Amino acid sequence: MTGADHAPSRHRRAERNAGPHGTPWPLPLALATVMVAWAAGAGAQPTPAPYEPEVGQGGKDVIWVPTPPALVETMLDLARVTRNDLVIDLGSGDGRNVIAAAKRGARAIGIEFNPEMVALATRLADEAGVAGRTTFIEGDMFTADISKATVMALFLLPTNLEQLREKFLALAPGTRIVLNTFTVPDWLPDEKADLGENCASWCTALLYYVPAPVAGRWTTVRGELTLTQEFQVVAGTLAMDGRITPVSGRLHGTALTLDVDGETLQTTVLGDRLDGPQLSGARARP
């Protein structure tokens, strides 16, 4: 093979490295151009679709079933939520209870184990214009700090509510707990509201007031008052001048109403004191 036999081959290589007008491109520039084209075309990744939860999807402790918007509003009405409240939802899902409370001016916190749900709720709160009054925390509802809540707005199963019952009772007396449909085992609600006969499912809101602890002995202006307590229901005796009279009554947060031999006595429980014009006193020392 002679030198002339190699000339066409060199010409073809020059054409392959040529730019738009036949001007040769340096090899590094040609490779860079190819890489940019690949990145802009075949290498580009599609934008992922926004997260959409599915009704009935599994979670750590419950499946996700959202409370209907009408019942959310009924729950907040029943709990008399105002801008002075701190509302907490455990297992807050897409944040609808929290967002609805914030729209009423309250501060509201949602505790949710699923990080995708937390991100979704945060985005929905921002879209609703209440991001400044809402906080969504990724965490376990059984270990969450709820001590500052004035209202708990929840949709949980009875087994969950039973596990949380002692935490509820440790809240400040008068704290409101409003629930969708399911009651706290062994604890009867103080009030309830229904959406009506046209509602097919998830139709009932239930309200509890955390009762003040009153079990024990009290030294009062009426004599020695001894009470037992089962949640908001109380019973006992009043002893004065050698006479022992049966007592029954009920707590509404810190408000205590007693029936003593047909007479109704009302007082307010302030820690270890009873304060009221009809009945005042202090908890007796052991």
Query: Phi then psi for 162, rounded to 5 degrees?
Result: -65, -40
Domain extent listing, the chain: 69-209, 216-283
Task: Give the count of beta carbons closer than 10 Å to the beta carbon of residue 139.
Answer: 15
How far apart CA 261 and CA 247 sit, in angstroms, is 7
* pLDDT class of 56 with cuts at 50, 70, 90: low
What's the CATH architecture for 69-209?
3-Layer(aba) Sandwich (3.40)
Say whether pLDDT at 231 is over 50: yes
Given this model, what pLDDT does residue 41 score? 53
Concatenating the DSSP letter of every residue in 128-139 gives TT-GGGEEEEES
- Provide the β-strand partners of residue 269: 274
What gap in Å lies between CA 155 and CA 223, rounded to an integer? Answer: 44
Q: How many CA atoms lie within 13 A of 255 on its CB side?
A: 6
- Using the predicted structure, report yes or no on whether residue 5 has a pLDDT greater than 60: no
Residues in CB range of 240: below 8 A, 6 or more apart:
222, 223, 224
Give the N- to C-terminal CA distance of the chain in Å, as an integer.
118
Q: Are 274 and 281 in contact (CB under 8 A)?
A: yes
Residue 250's φ and ψ, nearest 5 degrees, are: -150, 145
pLDDT value of residue 205: 98
Contacts of 146 (CB under 8 A, 6+ apart): 88, 90, 152, 167, 171
Residue 32 has pLDDT above 90, yes or no: no
Whole-number pLDDT of residue 57: 66
pLDDT tens digits for range 113-145 = 999 999 999 999 999 999 999 999 999 999 999
Over residues 67-102, the pLDDT tens digits come to 999 999 999 999 999 999 999 999 999 999 999 999
